Amino acid sequence: MEQATIRQAIAAGQTSIGIELGSTRIKSVLTGPDLMPVASGSFDWENSQVDGIWSYSLDDVWHGMQSSFAALAADVKASYDLDLTTTGAIGISGMMHGYLAFNQENQLLVPFRTWRNTITGPASEELTELFHYPIPQRWSIAHLYQAILNGEDHVGRIIYLTTLAGYVHWQLTGEKVMGVGEASGMFPIDLATRSFHAGMASQFDARITERQYPWQLLDILPRVRVAGDKAGVLTAAGAKLLDPTGKLTAGIPFCPPEGDAGTGMVATNSIAPRTGNVSAGTSVFAMIVLEKELSRAYAEIDQVTTPDGNLVAMVHSNNCSSDYDAWIGLFAEAIKALGFTVSKPQLYDTLLGLALGGDPDCGGLLAYGYLSGEHITGFEDGRPLFVRSAGSAFNLSNFMRVHLSTALGALHTGLGILLDREGVQVDEIKGHGGFFKTQGVGQRIMAAATGVPVSVLETAGEGGAWGIALLAAFAVMNDYNLSLAEFLNQRVFAGQAGSIAAPTPKEVAGFRDFMARYHQGLAIERAAVEALH
């Protein structure tokens, strides 16, 4: 699209903004009239442990939001010589799950407990048994019930319980609402009403009656909305909070806030049955849109929804790229110590590219990238490990391949339940995230792990910030009364090109051999957790 046309659209507010608070980056994207990104900005951040709890401070949330938006505005100014004062719609996305509990004065009662924590095992087990429905440790309701089981005194003072995306949306608009996809990671959804399951909420209230809290569950949860619904407007206070310069005007419409799983589905056009997507970065999760409900509940499988309310099986692994990122950082130090300079993209592309020349089973090498716990394999804590025997084929290609393969180890375990035990049919998996950044490499490893063709679209690198910008546009600019699937197919992805990697029998067999070693070696990982505090 010509620059003059984009400039005119920005000035007229015929754009949308998506902001996603990811685990390592807060990214802001501005889309043009054709719904493609025309400007972006980002801010890097990291979680930290507070008394053993993975968390981000609310001050960091707003510093990051303001910095990311300022970077977006600076990009607009540099590229189009315009101040970013308005837009047609805004959407907020964030890491799903977690626990943000507020009191009557809108004060945070305990530090934000993120998805990364594996501290709610008893609550997860009890609630799964109570509901006959899988309640993973990451879910907000598991955090709430664990706080109750722990006897934490703040629980009786809760007025509002939300997620990171829900919190930011609330502060910007004053609306305590939640998109159905994000809501499905807080508490189970009734597919008939596309809202929180009232029957299960009653069961929960009955379970905690003797505690005599002054609230019932549905009183403290957000109101649920679906894709296409409007969810408030930017208030004057919200505009000042997002843009302290005062240039951004109030009154801009918002779509419902969504989680990174839902925005990933939108950004990869994976919301129809028999489609799936894998988002792979710091963590990795696969979303498979189901044709029917699973035969029973599995602790390894989340049941969530698309942003428009269709049932999705979600396999979530806490650990993915962090450990091999650390190894590549070590190689970068060695190169620098030798007096050479290599750019970060060249270093990643070169080292990760070597993995394709490795043995399909990684040459007998074994690694675990468990920086944190991993519920699928039963770990509440983790220790990164690399292990080999004297007879292993220890070379750089196999070393890189084993780290890419083990990044998908827990994910493969969960997907095996869906594809092998439940017979779920998937025509194609679409990949996005840093794992797929080096062309062809992540795709090949993922295809070997899943046995399903893996495609990466040209826009895959735009990620969830673009996905929530599309949902924002859908909420206010859908002049044709299309469904979300129709909107994406006709207005966004029509004619888009991408690359596809089909699984080969040799690589699939090699990955299965690696996984046999992976499961056998979990005893080594457990010993490391117990021995190294």
Q: Are 2 and 77 in contact (CB under 8 A)?
A: no
CB atoms under 10 Å from CB of 421, counted, come to 12
pLDDT digit string (tens) for the chain, length 533 residues: 789 999 999 999 999 999 999 988 999 999 999 999 999 999 999 999 888 899 999 999 999 999 999 999 999 999 999 999 999 999 999 999 999 999 999 999 999 999 888 899 999 999 999 999 989 899 999 999 999 999 999 999 999 999 999 999 999 999 999 999 999 999 999 999 999 999 999 999 999 999 999 999 999 999 999 999 999 999 999 999 999 999 999 999 999 999 998 998 999 899 988 889 898 888 898 999 999 889 888 888 889 999 999 999 989 899 999 999 999 999 999 999 999 999 999 999 999 999 999 999 999 999 999 999 998 999 989 999 999 999 999 999 999 999 999 999 999 999 999 999 999 999 989 988 889 989 899 999 999 999 999 998 876 666 789 999 999 999 988 766 899 999 998 999 887 777 899 999 999 999 999 999 999 999 999 999 999 98
249 assigned to some structural domain: no
C-alpha 313/C-alpha 425 separation (Å) is: 12
User: How would you classify residue 215: left for phi > 0, otherwise alpha for psi between -120 and 50, otherwise beta?
Assistant: beta
Q: What sign for the dihedral angle of Cα 435, 441, 445, 448?
A: positive
362 assigned to some structural domain: yes
H or E element at residue 368:
strand 366-368
22 assigned to some structural domain: no
366 assigned to some structural domain: yes
Residues spanned by the domain of 399: 322-406+506-531
The pLDDT tens digits of the residues spanning 471-491 come to 999 998 876 689 999 999 899
What is residue 112's three-state secondary structure?
A: coil
C-alpha 106/C-alpha 327 separation (Å) is: 43
363 assigned to some structural domain: yes
pTM value is 0.82
In 3D space, the residue among 186, 190, 200, 382 whose CA is nearest the CA of residue 302 turns out to be: 186
Longest dimension (CA), the chain: 68
In 3D space, the residue among 171, 168, 161, 194 whose CA is nearest the CA of residue 257 turns out to be: 168
Q: Which residue has the tokens 């457990």?
A: 526
Q: How many domains does the chain have?
A: 1
Q: Are 264 and 460 in contact (CB under 8 A)?
A: no
CB atoms under 10 Å from CB of 368, counted, come to 27
C-alpha 405/C-alpha 450 separation (Å) is: 11
In 3D space, the residue among 232, 138, 224, 136 whose CA is nearest the CA of residue 183 turns out to be: 224
Side-chain half-sphere CA neighbours of 123 within 13 A = 21
Got the DSSP string for 322-363? HHHHHHHHHHHHHHHHTT----HHHHHHHHHHHGGGS-TTGG
Which tokens in the block code for residue 19? 């902001």
335 assigned to some structural domain: yes
Which tokens in the block code for residue 340? 């050479």
383 assigned to some structural domain: yes
| C-alpha pair distances (Å), 20 with each of 64, 65, 88, 434, 488 | 11, 9, 18, 15, 19
Q: Are 28 and 18 in contact (CB under 8 A)?
A: yes
The identity of residue 39, as a single letter, is: A
C-alpha 403/C-alpha 356 separation (Å) is: 12
Q: Are 431 and 280 in contact (CB under 8 A)?
A: yes
The pLDDT tens digits of the residues spanning 112-154 come to 999 888 899 999 999 999 999 989 899 999 999 999 999 999 9
C-alpha 84/C-alpha 394 separation (Å) is: 53
| C-alpha pair distances (Å), 27 with each of 20, 66, 94, 529 | 5, 11, 10, 34
C-alpha 91/C-alpha 19 separation (Å) is: 6
Q: Which residue has the tokens 């010509």?
A: 2
Q: What sign for the dihedral angle of Cα 29, 27, 404, 261?
A: negative
Q: Are 255 and 179 in contact (CB under 8 A)?
A: yes
User: How would you classify residue 451: left for phi > 0, otherwise alpha for psi between -120 and 50, otherwise beta?
Assistant: left
Helices 58-80 & 164-173, crossing angle to 10 degrees?
70
Based on its alpha-carbon atoms, the radius of gyration of the chain, rounded to whole angstroms, reads 23
334 assigned to some structural domain: yes
Residues 6+ apart with CB under 8 A from 207: 130
